[in-house]
Amino acid sequence: MAKYVFDFSEGNRDLKDLLGGKGANLAEMTNLGLPVPPGFTITTETCRTYMTTGTLPPELRVQVTMALRGLEDALGRMLGDPQDPLLVSVRSGAKFSMPGMMETVLNVGLNDASVHGLARFAGDERFAWDSYRRLIQMFGKTVLDIDGELFSDALDAAKQAHGAVADTDLPAEALHALVDEFKDIVRRESGREFPQHPREQLDLAIEAVFNSWNTERARLYRRRERISDDLGTAVNIVAMVFGNLGDDSGTGVCFTRDPATGMTGDYGDYLPNAQGEDVVAGIRNTLSLEDFEKLDPEAYGELKQVMRRLETHYRDLCDIEFTVERGKLWMLQTRVGKRTAAAAFRIAKQLVDEHIITLDEALERVTGEQLSKLMFPQFDAGAETTLLAKGMAASPGAAVGAAVFSSATAQEWAAQGKKVILVRRETNPDDLGGMIASVGVLTSRGGKTSHAAVVARGMGTTCVVGAEALQVDVHARRLTVNGTVVSEGDVIAIDGTSGDIFLGDVPVVSSPVVHYLEDGLEATLETIGDDLETRELVEAVDAILSHADAARTLGVYANADTPDDAHRARSLGGEGIGLCRTEHMFLGDRRVLIERLILAKDDDAQQAALDALLPLQREDFVGLLEQMDGLPVTIRLIDPPLHEFLPDFTELSVKVALAKERGESGPEVERDVELLAAVDRHREANPMLGLRGVRLGIVIPGLFALQMRAIAQAQAARIKAGGDPHAEIMIPLAASIMELHLVKDEADRILAEVAAEEGVEFEIPVGAMVELPRAALTADRMADVAEFFSFGTNDLTQTTWGFSRDDVEGAFFTEYTEHGVFSVSPFESIDTQGVGRLVRIAAKEGRESRPDLRLGVCGEHGGDPESIHFFHEVGLDYVSCSPFRIPIARLEAGRAAVTTGGGDTR
């Protein structure tokens, strides 16, 4: 019989696939002898079976009974017993943390009888009725799918009727009446009574948690975080401990280091006389751990010891949930904590310096995307600003946008291209869509462990929480602070590093990490001065990125078309140019020269047009080779179809027709008529699969010859100037070895001619851009001619999937993602099973034919972290990406070298 239930004593932290992160870590803490309430975990396998069959395994009920009886025997109490009731919590727990996305039900086992037993146990009527109303509220919303606002409104009405500011101010008789009102809501909205049998409550709660795996917000979160829908969640049943038993009780969340900045110290939130969900929900502003120490020095001291022990055991920042029940500390959860980009680098470097992890491990714990976030601009400290208020800095960054007060508005305005900041009293899981759409999140309630803070940090979104001075009116769609009113649509700015909130726009400046990447460590530290936090960050980035450079085997080149691009690429650590797109050199003022080439009526006119282009192209290439002196510069011959260099057919047709109607004449009109005929000749139904790339060079004599001669002359000029140029010629869109032969033979002839004319010797390799499936599948033959391959994964993805990128991404990619056709766009991260397999085949068979064949990639995937790990595994020599992504590629190439399969980046 399959085992679906594991006692905490049977698990460990290595069983996250089976027990989920929460269950595995509860088991680990139990094994460490920490004060964990007893309980058991229902496996993720159970959830997967439920999702597949629609029913829970028949053995599950029996196994839950056995585990529950063991729990009852250990504690000497029975679930829902009227005299001395055992109560349990039912919590979700997937392999990867999904904060607030799935369901929790507390106080399961309470009913009309056991509430009196709980009151006797606690010696507190108010506590018992408060716990019962919490159960009905959670159960009604989570299990019975009743609108949670109905319960919240009833609670608010009760507080108003009794003059209570917080729910903790409500007396026992008011809570008793509220329980009756909540049961009426359940009866009215669900058509059934609130279940009184404790086991029925438990079974329904378990099923509800499994169902919460597939809620819209959970699916949305998984899509964003690239978590598989097939993993499922575990369910943890844990004996209740109570933080709402009075002033000597409470609940909290803490971190062993600051998850926002990475600075050392103890960080967290504590709420006296509260249950855990109150902290996460952010409905009451929390106390600091320093305040907790003053309230309960003994429990705080024990917590400090546990925090140190867990960080040492996990060798990482730990996120810990705890409850104090009448002075007794209980550990409810721990996990490796989510952190901001800055914190990730600082903490990794700190742990290396403390000899807790190695540099290889530090490199595994940061990601290229985190580095990219550190390169974002920051607010200009010298700018004039209007400070509205100050909150808690929850997730760093500089965000400027229109204030919006609902998730729906945030999504609607963002879809229109507007930058928005979502403003709420507190966020809840239903706000996820709006949080994703917003450039920043601002709340007036909550602390650093509230829903808004945790989710925003995980997404890398700028966030400020707990700005108590803000009076947020979501119904009127405005906030008020010190007499200033900010209405929906007004621009505000938030600083997630300082917690400052500004009225109006605030200018931004470059990040210190960008200064470091461009100018080096020493110069940047001089600029920073005594700012310890920034110095530590830059030094951490330097240490880890330097180690990545030492560890990686992949070269990192740039896609660059101008000397300025090349200069920036080199300053950011680029080791060459992997793609120079020459077609960009024919735009602007030079477009007329291409028109002359197309309109040429004889060989002399065509040669004249080519002669006019030659010196311009030569100087283009001289500039690139000068900036990249000593490094390879791969120049792709002209690739796009000619229509991209010609006027729009419709616009030109209208222009010619109007001129004819008006009886206009003259050289310009005659030229337009000729040009229209040429445009019509070159029109294609599907130009991206038509006359372009190598086909263009074969069909239009002299075009490729012009470019190859310009490249050779530029190489010679740089050699004569004392330089060390390394130009390479790349043939685009080749699918046949004969296409390569035709161009390569012409290249060999031209290169020899130029070398003789200039009186210098040089070698310029000629290679192929592999961007068609046929080229990949015949790579063994193509390598007989090509001296290198560069995979053009943009076009290779289009031609493998049969997608026209410009058409499909906006047309149906959202639906494809929602339906699971792919979890991420294949243009964003390489499709390893399809496109990747073609790359793998071409790399293997190409090198079998030519062992010294150099292999690179120059599509946008060259800067994508996940794709870089794949290219490392396949054995490519280099990746090429946009200059700004070079540091990210360097880091990820290093991570790929020290990890197996790329590691876990979540």
Residue 2 C-alpha from the chain's centroid: 37
User: Using CA atoms, how far apart are residues 867 and 85, in angstroms rounded to an integer?
Assistant: 54
863: which 2 tokens?
């800067």
User: Using CA atoms, how far apart are residues 430 and 425, in angstroms rounded to an integer?
Assistant: 14
Helix (H, G, I), strand (E, B) or coil at 338: coil
> Residue 294: which residues within 8 A CB-CB, separation 6 or more?
none
Q: Please, are residues 404 and 420 in contact by the beta-carbon 8 Å criterion? A: yes
838: which 2 tokens?
């073609």
Task: Give φ, ψ of 818 to 5 degrees.
Answer: -65, -35
DSSP one-letter string for 601-628: -SHHHHHHHHHHHHHHHHHHHHHHHHHT
> Residue 384: which residues within 8 A CB-CB, separation 6 or more?
none
CA dihedral 474→478→484→489, nearest 10 degrees, is 150
Most distant CA pair in the chain, distance: 106
574: which 2 tokens?
């680029």
Q: Which one, of 711, 705, 709, lies nearest residue 624 by Cα?
A: 711
User: Using CA atoms, how far apart are residues 349 and 542, in angstroms rounded to an integer?
Assistant: 10
Extended beta strands in 59-206, E state: 78-79, 85-86, 88-94, 104-108
Task: Give φ, ψ of 93 to 5 degrees.
Answer: -175, 90
- Pairing between β-strand 632-636 and β-strand 577-581 as defined by DSSP bridges: parallel
Residue written as tokens 């680029």? 574
Helix (H, G, I), strand (E, B) or coil at 171: coil
Distances (CA, A) of 446 to 50, 137, 278, 284: 36, 21, 9, 6
Q: Please, are residues 92 and 124 in contact by the beta-carbon 8 Å criterion? A: no
Helix (H) / strand (E) element for 50: namely: helix 44-53
User: Using CA atoms, how far apart are residues 540 and 524, in angstroms rounded to an integer?
Assistant: 13
Helix (H, G, I), strand (E, B) or coil at 742: helix
User: Using CA atoms, how far apart are residues 695 and 872, in angstroms rounded to an integer?
Assistant: 32
Q: Which one, of 469, 435, 475, lies nearest residue 452 by Cα?
A: 435
User: Using CA atoms, how far apart are residues 869 and 892, in angstroms rounded to an integer?
Assistant: 7
- Beta partners for residue 386, in sequence order: 503
Residue 563 C-alpha from the chain's centroid: 32
Sheet holding 233-239, edge to edge: 5-7, 39-42, 233-239, 88-94, 104-108
- Beta partners for residue 478, in sequence order: 473, 487
User: Using CA atoms, how far apart are residues 474 and 891, in angstroms rounded to an integer?
Assistant: 43
Q: Please, are residues 350 and 264 in contact by the beta-carbon 8 Å criterion? A: yes
- Pairing between β-strand 318-325 and β-strand 250-257 as defined by DSSP bridges: antiparallel
Q: How many residues does the chain have?
A: 906
List active site positions.
Answer: 451, 858
Extended beta strands in 149-276, E state: 233-239, 250-257, 264-272
Handedness of CA 336, 340, 345, 347 (dihedral sign): negative
Task: Encode 299-314: b = buried (16+ Cβ within 10 Å), e = exposed.
Answer: bbebbeebbebbbeeb
